[in-house]
Structure 1
Amino acid sequence: MRKFIPVAEPWLGEKELEYVTNCIRTNWISSMGQYIAQFEEGFSGFCGTKYAIATCNGTVALHLALEVLGIGPGDEVIVPTLTFASTAFAVSYTGASPVFVDSEPTTWNMDPSKIEEKITPQTKAMIPVHLYGHP
Protein backbone atom coordinates (compact mmCIF):
# COMPACT_ATOMS: atom_id res chain seq x y z
CA MET A 1 0.00 0.00 0.00
CA ARG A 2 1.31 3.44 -0.93
CA LYS A 3 1.30 6.15 1.66
CA PHE A 4 -0.22 9.47 0.57
CA ILE A 5 2.03 12.45 1.19
CA PRO A 6 0.06 15.69 0.90
CA VAL A 7 1.67 18.73 -0.71
CA ALA A 8 -0.16 21.02 1.68
CA GLU A 9 -2.32 20.25 4.65
CA PRO A 10 -4.51 22.81 6.40
CA TRP A 11 -4.02 23.36 10.08
CA LEU A 12 -7.01 24.71 11.95
CA GLY A 13 -6.84 25.43 15.65
CA GLU A 14 -9.47 26.12 18.28
CA LYS A 15 -9.73 29.82 17.38
CA GLU A 16 -10.51 29.00 13.74
CA LEU A 17 -13.15 26.49 14.83
CA GLU A 18 -14.67 29.14 17.11
CA TYR A 19 -14.83 31.69 14.27
CA VAL A 20 -16.35 29.27 11.76
CA THR A 21 -18.90 28.05 14.30
CA ASN A 22 -19.85 31.64 15.13
CA CYS A 23 -20.32 32.46 11.44
CA ILE A 24 -22.62 29.49 10.94
CA ARG A 25 -24.64 30.08 14.11
CA THR A 26 -25.22 33.76 13.30
CA ASN A 27 -25.87 33.12 9.57
CA TRP A 28 -23.00 35.43 8.60
CA ILE A 29 -21.38 33.10 6.09
CA SER A 30 -21.33 35.57 3.22
CA SER A 31 -19.43 38.68 2.27
CA MET A 32 -21.60 40.75 4.61
CA GLY A 33 -20.32 39.20 7.84
CA GLN A 34 -18.13 40.97 10.37
CA TYR A 35 -15.14 38.72 9.75
CA ILE A 36 -14.66 39.81 6.14
CA ALA A 37 -14.43 43.49 7.11
CA GLN A 38 -12.13 42.65 10.03
CA PHE A 39 -9.88 40.59 7.79
CA GLU A 40 -9.71 43.25 5.08
CA GLU A 41 -8.88 45.96 7.60
CA GLY A 42 -6.24 43.85 9.33
CA PHE A 43 -4.70 42.69 6.08
CA SER A 44 -4.51 46.20 4.63
CA GLY A 45 -2.77 47.30 7.82
CA PHE A 46 -0.35 44.38 7.60
CA CYS A 47 0.44 45.25 3.97
CA GLY A 48 0.60 49.00 4.62
CA THR A 49 -2.10 49.74 2.05
CA LYS A 50 -5.27 51.79 2.21
CA TYR A 51 -7.48 48.93 0.98
CA ALA A 52 -7.61 45.15 0.82
CA ILE A 53 -10.21 42.93 -0.81
CA ALA A 54 -10.99 39.43 0.39
CA THR A 55 -11.85 36.98 -2.39
CA CYS A 56 -13.34 33.51 -2.26
CA ASN A 57 -10.18 31.85 -3.57
CA GLY A 58 -6.76 32.41 -5.11
CA THR A 59 -8.01 32.09 -8.68
CA VAL A 60 -10.34 35.04 -8.23
CA ALA A 61 -7.58 37.04 -6.52
CA LEU A 62 -5.16 36.45 -9.41
CA HIS A 63 -7.85 37.20 -12.01
CA LEU A 64 -8.79 40.43 -10.24
CA ALA A 65 -5.15 41.53 -10.01
CA LEU A 66 -4.64 40.94 -13.73
CA GLU A 67 -7.83 42.83 -14.60
CA VAL A 68 -6.74 45.79 -12.46
CA LEU A 69 -3.45 45.83 -14.36
CA GLY A 70 -5.34 45.98 -17.66
CA ILE A 71 -4.13 42.59 -18.89
CA GLY A 72 -6.28 41.38 -21.78
CA PRO A 73 -6.48 39.89 -25.27
CA GLY A 74 -3.20 39.99 -27.16
CA ASP A 75 -1.15 40.24 -23.98
CA GLU A 76 1.19 37.58 -22.64
CA VAL A 77 1.88 36.78 -19.00
CA ILE A 78 4.89 34.71 -17.97
CA VAL A 79 4.03 31.91 -15.52
CA PRO A 80 5.93 28.93 -14.09
CA THR A 81 5.38 25.40 -15.34
CA LEU A 82 5.13 24.07 -11.80
CA THR A 83 2.24 25.81 -10.08
CA PHE A 84 -1.43 25.35 -9.33
CA ALA A 85 -3.58 25.48 -12.47
CA SER A 86 -5.18 28.73 -11.28
CA THR A 87 -2.10 30.70 -12.26
CA ALA A 88 -2.59 29.95 -15.96
CA PHE A 89 -6.40 29.93 -15.68
CA ALA A 90 -6.46 33.49 -14.31
CA VAL A 91 -4.37 34.67 -17.25
CA SER A 92 -6.67 32.89 -19.71
CA TYR A 93 -9.79 34.39 -18.09
CA THR A 94 -8.56 37.85 -19.11
CA GLY A 95 -8.12 36.78 -22.73
CA ALA A 96 -4.34 36.96 -22.43
CA SER A 97 -2.00 34.03 -23.10
CA PRO A 98 0.07 32.31 -20.42
CA VAL A 99 3.70 31.80 -21.43
CA PHE A 100 5.32 28.98 -19.47
CA VAL A 101 8.87 29.09 -18.12
CA ASP A 102 10.42 25.83 -16.97
CA SER A 103 11.42 25.22 -13.36
CA GLU A 104 14.92 24.93 -12.02
CA PRO A 105 15.69 21.74 -10.10
CA THR A 106 16.80 23.15 -6.76
CA THR A 107 13.76 25.17 -5.67
CA TRP A 108 11.25 24.09 -8.35
CA ASN A 109 10.57 27.78 -9.03
CA MET A 110 10.83 29.48 -12.42
CA ASP A 111 14.34 29.20 -13.75
CA PRO A 112 15.59 32.81 -13.87
CA SER A 113 17.99 31.95 -16.69
CA LYS A 114 15.05 30.98 -18.93
CA ILE A 115 12.83 34.00 -18.37
CA GLU A 116 14.50 36.50 -20.71
CA GLU A 117 14.09 34.27 -23.77
CA LYS A 118 10.32 34.19 -23.17
CA ILE A 119 9.86 37.97 -23.06
CA THR A 120 8.26 39.46 -26.18
CA PRO A 121 6.71 42.85 -27.00
CA GLN A 122 3.37 41.30 -25.93
CA THR A 123 4.67 40.43 -22.43
CA LYS A 124 2.82 42.58 -19.93
CA ALA A 125 3.37 40.76 -16.63
CA MET A 126 4.97 37.83 -14.87
CA ILE A 127 3.47 35.82 -12.03
CA PRO A 128 6.30 34.27 -10.01
CA VAL A 129 5.02 31.52 -7.75
CA HIS A 130 7.22 30.28 -4.94
CA LEU A 131 6.72 26.75 -3.75
CA TYR A 132 7.56 24.83 -0.62
CA GLY A 133 9.06 27.78 1.25
CA HIS A 134 11.46 28.76 -1.52
CA PRO A 135 10.82 32.41 -2.39
Structure 2
Amino acid sequence: MREKTYHLYLNEEERSRVIQSLIELKNNLAAQELGHAQLSINSESYSRRDMGFQAVCIGYMICKKYGVDTQNFAINRIPEGLASKEPKEIRAELSKTRNAMAEIHSHISDEMFRKKQERSKDYER
Protein backbone atom coordinates (compact mmCIF):
# COMPACT_ATOMS: atom_id res chain seq x y z
CA MET A 1 0.00 0.00 0.00
CA ARG A 2 1.44 3.33 -1.04
CA GLU A 3 1.45 6.13 1.49
CA LYS A 4 -0.13 9.41 0.48
CA THR A 5 2.19 12.36 0.43
CA TYR A 6 1.16 15.94 0.98
CA HIS A 7 3.07 19.04 0.06
CA LEU A 8 2.54 22.21 2.01
CA TYR A 9 3.30 25.14 -0.23
CA LEU A 10 3.37 28.61 1.21
CA ASN A 11 3.19 31.53 -1.14
CA GLU A 12 5.18 34.62 -0.16
CA GLU A 13 2.27 36.23 1.73
CA GLU A 14 1.56 33.07 3.74
CA ARG A 15 5.26 32.51 4.44
CA SER A 16 5.52 36.11 5.60
CA ARG A 17 2.59 35.60 8.01
CA VAL A 18 4.12 32.45 9.48
CA ILE A 19 7.49 34.18 9.88
CA GLN A 20 5.77 37.16 11.53
CA SER A 21 4.06 34.73 13.91
CA LEU A 22 7.44 33.29 14.80
CA ILE A 23 9.09 36.69 15.24
CA GLU A 24 6.32 38.54 17.06
CA LEU A 25 4.68 35.76 19.05
CA LYS A 26 7.83 33.71 19.58
CA ASN A 27 5.77 30.74 18.45
CA ASN A 28 7.74 27.47 18.37
CA LEU A 29 4.94 25.65 16.51
CA ALA A 30 5.32 28.15 13.66
CA ALA A 31 9.02 27.27 13.48
CA GLN A 32 8.26 23.57 13.22
CA GLU A 33 5.63 24.19 10.53
CA LEU A 34 8.15 26.25 8.57
CA GLY A 35 10.40 23.20 8.79
CA HIS A 36 7.66 20.97 7.36
CA ALA A 37 6.93 23.48 4.61
CA GLN A 38 10.56 23.85 3.57
CA LEU A 39 11.18 20.10 3.66
CA SER A 40 8.15 19.55 1.42
CA ILE A 41 9.37 22.20 -1.02
CA ASN A 42 12.84 20.62 -1.14
CA SER A 43 11.63 17.01 -1.51
CA GLU A 44 10.39 15.13 -4.53
CA SER A 45 8.33 12.87 -2.28
CA TYR A 46 7.34 14.19 1.10
CA SER A 47 5.80 12.38 4.04
CA ARG A 48 4.92 14.49 7.04
CA ARG A 49 5.23 11.43 9.27
CA ASP A 50 8.61 10.37 7.89
CA MET A 51 10.08 13.88 8.03
CA GLY A 52 8.54 14.84 11.36
CA PHE A 53 11.78 14.49 13.29
CA GLN A 54 13.65 16.65 10.78
CA ALA A 55 10.93 19.32 11.07
CA VAL A 56 11.21 19.19 14.86
CA CYS A 57 14.99 19.62 14.59
CA ILE A 58 14.57 22.56 12.21
CA GLY A 59 12.01 24.14 14.53
CA TYR A 60 14.39 23.67 17.45
CA MET A 61 17.33 25.24 15.59
CA ILE A 62 15.25 28.21 14.43
CA CYS A 63 13.90 28.83 17.92
CA LYS A 64 17.34 28.50 19.44
CA LYS A 65 18.73 30.97 16.90
CA TYR A 66 16.05 33.59 17.60
CA GLY A 67 15.71 33.14 21.37
CA VAL A 68 12.37 31.33 21.37
CA ASP A 69 11.69 28.75 24.10
CA THR A 70 12.75 25.24 23.03
CA GLN A 71 11.45 23.17 25.96
CA ASN A 72 8.62 21.62 23.95
CA PHE A 73 10.91 20.08 21.32
CA ALA A 74 11.63 16.37 21.74
CA ILE A 75 14.96 16.20 19.94
CA ASN A 76 16.51 13.71 22.33
CA ARG A 77 14.52 10.76 20.91
CA ILE A 78 15.99 9.73 17.56
CA PRO A 79 13.46 7.79 15.48
CA GLU A 80 14.20 4.10 14.86
CA GLY A 81 14.22 4.63 11.09
CA LEU A 82 16.99 7.22 11.36
CA ALA A 83 19.00 5.39 14.01
CA SER A 84 19.16 2.24 11.89
CA LYS A 85 20.52 3.97 8.77
CA GLU A 86 24.08 3.80 7.54
CA PRO A 87 26.35 6.78 8.34
CA LYS A 88 26.25 7.97 4.72
CA GLU A 89 22.43 7.97 4.77
CA ILE A 90 22.39 9.82 8.10
CA ARG A 91 24.73 12.49 6.69
CA ALA A 92 22.38 12.89 3.70
CA GLU A 93 19.39 13.37 6.03
CA LEU A 94 21.31 15.86 8.17
CA SER A 95 22.30 17.72 5.02
CA LYS A 96 18.64 18.04 3.99
CA THR A 97 17.81 19.34 7.45
CA ARG A 98 20.69 21.83 7.43
CA ASN A 99 19.76 23.11 3.95
CA ALA A 100 16.11 23.60 4.91
CA MET A 101 17.18 25.43 8.07
CA ALA A 102 19.48 27.72 6.07
CA GLU A 103 16.70 28.59 3.61
CA ILE A 104 14.25 29.35 6.41
CA HIS A 105 16.86 31.43 8.24
CA SER A 106 17.43 33.40 5.04
CA HIS A 107 13.70 34.12 4.69
CA ILE A 108 13.43 35.15 8.35
CA SER A 109 16.45 37.45 8.04
CA ASP A 110 14.97 39.03 4.92
CA GLU A 111 11.63 39.55 6.66
CA MET A 112 13.27 41.05 9.75
CA PHE A 113 15.34 43.40 7.56
CA ARG A 114 12.19 44.42 5.64
CA LYS A 115 10.35 45.14 8.91
CA LYS A 116 13.30 47.15 10.22
CA GLN A 117 13.33 49.22 7.01
CA GLU A 118 9.57 49.87 7.36
CA ARG A 119 10.01 51.01 10.96
CA SER A 120 12.88 53.29 9.91
CA LYS A 121 10.70 54.91 7.24
CA ASP A 122 7.86 55.37 9.73
CA TYR A 123 10.26 56.92 12.24
CA GLU A 124 11.54 59.41 9.66
CA ARG A 125 8.03 60.71 9.02
Larger relative contact order, structure 1 or 2 (CA cutoff 8 Å, min sep 6)? 2
Question: Is TM more than 0.5 here?
Answer: no
**Bin of the TM-score, shorter chain as denominator length:** under 0.3
Task: Point out the structure with the larger strand share.
Answer: 1
Taking structure 1 as the reference length, what is the TM-score of the superposition? 0.25
Task: Point out the structure with the larger helix share.
Answer: 2
